[in-house]
Structure 1
Amino acid sequence: MSRKPDPFAIDLTPELIIRAYQAGIFPMAEDASSRDLFWVSPQQRGIIPIDDFHISRSLGRTLRKHSYAVRVDTDFAGVIEGCATSGVDRESTWINAEIRRLYGALFERGIAHTVEVWDGTDLVGGLYGLSLGAAFFGESMFHRKTDCSKIAMAHLLFRLRAGGYRLLDTQFVTDHLKTFGGIEIPREDYEVRLAEAVRHSADFRAIDRQST
């Protein structure tokens, strides 16, 4: 990845984070114990084309048959805790206290969102990200039961398509994201798509009205 260390000792604010995303960069920490953040702008940027994403046959069967409840924006603290906890789906995490503080504030402003997978009263999977204009920036996901992060991602993709989003930024591409059609594009192409997406509006809640 291409790091852009901040040479100035400044306080990070939600407003600064928003401007950074609009400029095509995002913050990360070395690990959960680090107190500092650094800026990242990959030469190759991961995206999932919203108008051409892929749901595998096996995941399609899971989506039709599972008994989990999928909710949005009901437990941000629980989702970011799941993403920040080492476990079966990750050996380490980059989500530190500063990330939790900043994205928690963005959630309170209606900019950060969660997709949550529940088994009764247990949160068993989910993801979170930011919505700016018609762009959605996926940050992290987790699962505590098989396929629950995939269920969350599939729900997000259907939600973004229904809401008129133009860009789903995944930052990087993993084998997991490739199963949904995730690809890498050069930073220059990404910046063009980003500028176009943030100029437009989208509706994260549109699918909820369509299903009632």
Structure 2
Amino acid sequence: MRLPATLCFLYRRCPIALYQLDPLQVYFPPAQLALDSPNGLLAIGGDLTPDWLVKAYQNGIFPWFNLGEPILWWSPDPRGVILPAEVHPNKSLRKYLRKAEFSYSVNQAFSQVIQNCATLRQKTDGTWITEEMIQAYIQLHQQGYAHSIEVWQSQKLVGGLYGINIGRLFCGESMFHIVSNASKAAFCCLGQLCRQLEIELIDCQMVNPHLETLGVYQMPREQFLARLPELTQKALDKDAWKARELSNEP
């Protein structure tokens, strides 16, 4: 197997050495070789086809780049994760959710969810969910890897999230809300569904203040990568992510 060559690439005005990926050969260098600064940046190039994306998630790697940039691949240290058993609404959120009269579904509006995630982020601080990324993840959805949780209010989509499921691992990608706490409701709903499906770990990639309020914590990358082979090789029932309404509130 031909290994990718290193490349000197100007990233945010800082020259750094990155692995240049051959788009004709689905291959990633070990995630442990990612840079310390910027944290987790591993490689450049490759492609966003389902083969590339599935290979990346199986190895603790994900794409993240802005419009006009080449494809960049990351594996940060530490990693933001949470156990499904630890995902629960706190008392005040639970009280709010009862009054909000939300309803929930899985995989009934994947394209709408990812489009909303892209649109709302674009209005605030720009988005890495480019049209190229949207189409790539819709393909993953069609192949049974990418899934969405939807939050509805009066039959209107008001929040949701999407991510990738491989084996007993769920990799969260993005969430949105247009009504207060709807994204938190989607995350709590995800935790409940993951418990039902016996998914063992939710990968949130990197921790931010919003995710910290949901209980997401940091796991050393070495520990995260060590768990991947076991998690990704455990198959779920073929109907686990069947599109349907979810009857119980989180």
What is the TM-score normalised by the length of structure 2? 0.76
Write the deviation string for residues 163-192 of structure 1: whole angstroms up to 9, x where unpaired.
100110000112222222210011000112
* Per-residue deviation, 1:87: 5.8
Match of 1:163 in 2: 197
Q: 1:28 aligns with which of 40, 44, 64?
A: 64
Please say if 1:129 is aligned against 2:163: yes
Q: Judge conservation of contact 1:70–1:116 (CA < 8 Å) in 2.
A: yes
Q: Judge conservation of contact 2:87–2:192 (CA < 8 Å) in 1.
A: no
Q: Judge conservation of contact 2:106–2:241 (CA < 8 Å) in 1.
A: no
What is the TM-score normalised by the length of structure 1? 0.88
Write the deviation string for residues 94-119 of structure 1: whole angstroms up to 9, x where unpaired.
11122111101001111100001112
Q: 1:2 aligns with which of 40, 47, 68?
A: 40
Separation in 1 of the partners of 2:99 and 2:228? 36
1:1-212 pair list within 5 angstroms: 1-6=39-44, 10-30=46-66, 33-34=67-68, 36-86=70-120, 90-203=124-237, 204-205=240-241
Separation in 2 of the partners of 1:192 and 1:209? 35
Q: Judge conservation of contact 2:168–2:201 (CA < 8 Å) in 1.
A: yes
* Per-residue deviation, 1:89: 8.5
* Per-residue deviation, 1:67: 1.3
Letter in 2 for 1:5: A
Which structure 2 segments of 5+ residues have no match?
Answer: 1-38
Which structure 1 segments of 5+ residues have no match?
Answer: none
Separation in 2 of the partners of 1:139 and 1:176? 14
Separation in 2 of the partners of 1:101 and 1:35? 17
Aligned residue for 2:120, secondary structure, equals coil
Write the deviation string for residues 129-176 of structure 1: whole angstroms up to 9, x where unpaired.
011001000000000010000110010000001110011000011222
Letter in 2 for 1:85: T
Aligned residue for 1:86, secondary structure, equals helix
Aligned residue for 2:149, secondary structure, equals strand
Q: 1:105 to 1:98 in 2, by over 3 A?
A: same
Separation in 1 of the partners of 2:69 and 2:135? 12
Letter in 1 for 2:49: T
Separation in 1 of the partners of 2:129 and 2:215? 26
Q: Is the radius of gyration larger for structure 1 or structure 2? A: 2
* Structure with more relative contact order (C-alpha pairs < 8 Å, separation 6 or more): 1
Separation in 2 of the partners of 1:120 and 1:166? 33
User: Paired residues, what number?
Assistant: 207
* Per-residue deviation, 1:54: 3.9
* Per-residue deviation, 1:86: 3.3
CA RMSD between the two structures? 2.4
* Per-residue deviation, 1:88: 10
